[in-house]
Amino acid sequence: MVYQIYPRSFADANNDGIGDVRGMIDKLDYLKDLGVNAVWVSPWYPSPMADGGYDVTDYCDIDASFGTLADADEFVVGAHERGLRVLIDLVPNHSSEAHPAFRAALGAGPGSPEREMFHFADGTGSDGSRPPNNWGSLFGGPAWERVVGPSGPEQWYLHMFAPEQPDWNWVNPAVVALFDDVIRFWFDRGVDGLRVDVADGLVKATGYPDTPIDPDTGLGIASFYPGHPWWNQPELEAIQRHWREIGDGYADRHLGERIFVCEANTKPLDALMRFVDAGRMHTTFNFDMLWCEWEAGSLRAMIDRNLVSHATVGAPTTWVLGNHDCTRVVTRYGKPETGRPFTLDGPPAEWQYRFADYFTPMPTDNELGRRRARAAALLELALPGPAYIYQGEELGLPEVEDLPDAARQDPSFFRAGGRTKGRDGCRVPLPWSATTPPYGFGTDAQPWLPQPPVWAELSAAAQVGDADSTLTLYRRALAVRGTHPALGDGALAWGDTYPGKVLYFTREPGFGCLVNISGAPVDLPSGAEVVVASAPLVDGRVPTDTTVWLTLASD
Ligand code: BGC
């Protein structure tokens, strides 16, 4: 089980309102007690924070607000001492406008090798005042920004995300070499793996062909569709195989395994499976679970299609319920629409991943959402393959939906002109203790995003001794998962003893998982004993929106 740390919002040891690496070190025992096997740390590199650290000025250092390289080393050693592996974010698609290579490119002028490190192109129109093509950015607005040099406006540069995040040119061997050094730098320091940001977007089609117009923006479509000129280009394969060789070189030298995890939204699933073909990446996030509605038929189809597809390549399926880019799971499941319907063919064809708060306009019932989120956590943790938990899910934190606009920092909020609220609501600093802000995040400094009053009852300290808390549920489930011979990798078999609105599967030896999403309580299988339950049984029956883990009677 991999726990995602978003450093700005995790723990603030130096009390400046921003989380830091020393705060992460202080919480290593909490993570060990929670029962995780690995942590993934979102970017901790020097950054102007135009996109929360996904705009990097130096890939081989730590941002001063987070600490120092020595702190990072101490974190890795401390994690290893506690049996936790460490993955960090690699951000290879784009840098920061403040990266020295981009500053050099701006200064060097059109046609220079420095500009070849990025995507610079002449504008269109008689005076070049229109962008090179119609591409829209994933954060809203055009994907091109015009350079204004000492003698006035000149070329444009490409940014799939914010203008502060210029895209690297991955067909340039100098870019490949630069990242080889970065990968080795962290692997040499003992980091066990890399979560590869925007792993399917690195290469852009030659000639920058236009995309069809997105009616919402009037610009070329930015999000994925098969054949899109910046998603899943064929050249990615060579890049991934090359990285894999670098990683495997560590195991060959008996220095330990080094792994790669793709963040990719490539569709259909068969195309995504190519990323985890032998000799390419180890795993890829499965965002289907995150987007699937809380409905038995959809969940079963989503699970089956992922298990079957991954089995064809022999890679483990990962399961993701939440992360720093989407509405928190408690809040999603508390909405009248909880996600997308799924069939064995996947989500509806018109489905597009966007940095939008699809869920926000709907009212929320957080109590219902938390009940379902607890049931979903037990489902996720019972499935074969690695599970990802985003910080705060173990506390049952809801999205903070009423953040004042003045406090928001997510560029997707600003670039979309406020049409979407963006991702700040899932990034509010964690509550560790106490009943007033900053709830033990720091000692008294106000955190970079304001925390809501409900954090008082949801803090880790408030939950740790409470047998019914979400934290206790996660700790219990992870303890069982860590030792039960049926859990972790392996297979599952669906039992068909229940009506359609109940998911029931078994895993050998002797484990059962029952998820009741029907409107009525259901009986336990005969002879089964409850090991963990997401909510109390009622008269010995499993109530609605509840998952139970079972020890099955042996025949
Ligand atoms: C990250 C986002 C980030 C974007 C650009 C993603 O997919 O998860 O948080 O804004 O890449 O780096």
pLDDT at 555: 58
Task: Output the CA 54–ligand 1 centroid distance in Å.
Answer: 6
Nearest CA to ligand 1 atom 9: 325
Nearest CA to ligand 1 atom 1: 197
Residue by residue, what is the 3-state secondary structure of 120-181? EECCECCCCCECCCCEECCCCCECEEEEEECCEEEEEEECCCCCCCCEECCCCHHHHHHHHH
Ligand 1 pocket, residue 89 CB under 6 Å: no
Which residue do the tokens 């070849």 mark? Answer: 116
Beta pairing, strands 319-320 & 120-121: unpaired
pLDDT at 361: 79
Q: Which is the catalytic residue, given 97, 192, 197, 295?
A: 197
Note if 192 is an active site residue: no
| Contact status, residue 64 vs residue 14, Cβ threshold 8 Å | no
Ligand 1 pocket, residue 393 CB under 6 Å: no
CB hemisphere CA count around 479 (13 angstroms)? 10
Task: Output the CA 88–ligand 1 centroid distance in Å.
Answer: 14
Task: Output the CA 271–ligand 1 centroid distance in Å.
Answer: 21
Nearest CA to ligand 1 atom 3: 54
Ligand 1 pocket, residue 11 CB under 6 Å: no
Which residues in the chain come in under a pLDDT of 50?
none
The C-alpha atoms of residue 2 and residue 31 are separated, in whole angstroms, by: 10
| Contact status, residue 524 vs residue 546, Cβ threshold 8 Å | no
Ligand 1 pocket, residue 161 CB under 6 Å: yes
In the DSSP assignment, the letter for residue 298 is: H
| Spatial CB neighbours of 427, under 8 Å, sequence gap ≥ 6 | 6, 8, 9, 52, 324, 410, 449
H helices of 385-449, in order, are 411-415
Ligand 1 pocket, residue 377 CB under 6 Å: no
pLDDT at 56: 98
List of domains in the chain: 2-93+173-464 (3.20.20.80), 100-158 (3.90.400.10), 490-551 (2.60.40.1180)
| Predicted TM-score of the model (pTM) | 0.97
pLDDT at 356: 55
Nearest CA to ligand 1 atom 4: 54
Which amino acid, residue 233?
Q
| Contact status, residue 2 vs residue 38, Cβ threshold 8 Å | yes
Task: Output the CA 481–ligand 1 centroid distance in Å.
Answer: 30
Burial class (CB in 10 A: 0-12, 13-18, 19+), 24: buried
| Spatial CB neighbours of 96, under 8 Å, sequence gap ≥ 6 | 47, 48, 50, 55, 56, 57, 102, 164, 165, 166
Cα–Cα nearest to 429, from 464, 402, 397, 457 = 397
| Spatial CB neighbours of 16, under 8 Å, sequence gap ≥ 6 | 65, 442, 445
CA angle 104, 106, 112 (to 5 degrees): 75
**What are the tens digits of pLDDT across the range 420-474?**
889 999 999 999 999 999 999 999 999 999 999 999 999 999 999 999 999 999 9
pLDDT at 346: 84
Task: Output the CA 139–ligand 1 centroid distance in Å.
Answer: 10
Note if 466 is an active site residue: no
Q: Sheet holding 144-149: strands in order across?
A: 120-121, 152-158, 144-149
pLDDT at 347: 81
The C-alpha atoms of residue 280 and residue 289 are separated, in whole angstroms, by: 23
Q: Atom of ligand 1 at shortest distance to CA of 55? A: 12
**What are the tens digits of pLDDT across the range 320-370?**
999 999 999 999 999 999 999 999 988 877 666 555 566 777 899 999 999
Q: Which is the catalytic residue, given 12, 263, 399, 545?
A: 263
| Contact status, residue 165 vs residue 94, Cβ threshold 8 Å | yes
Burial class (CB in 10 A: 0-12, 13-18, 19+), 113: exposed
Nearest CA to ligand 1 atom 2: 325
The C-alpha atoms of residue 149 and residue 169 are separated, in whole angstroms, by: 21
pLDDT at 542: 98
Task: Output the CA 518–ligand 1 centroid distance in Å.
Answer: 36
Pocket probe mutation, ligand 1, options 44, 55, 161, max atoms within 8 Å of Cβ: 161
The C-alpha atoms of residue 45 and residue 256 are separated, in whole angstroms, by: 24
pLDDT at 443: 98
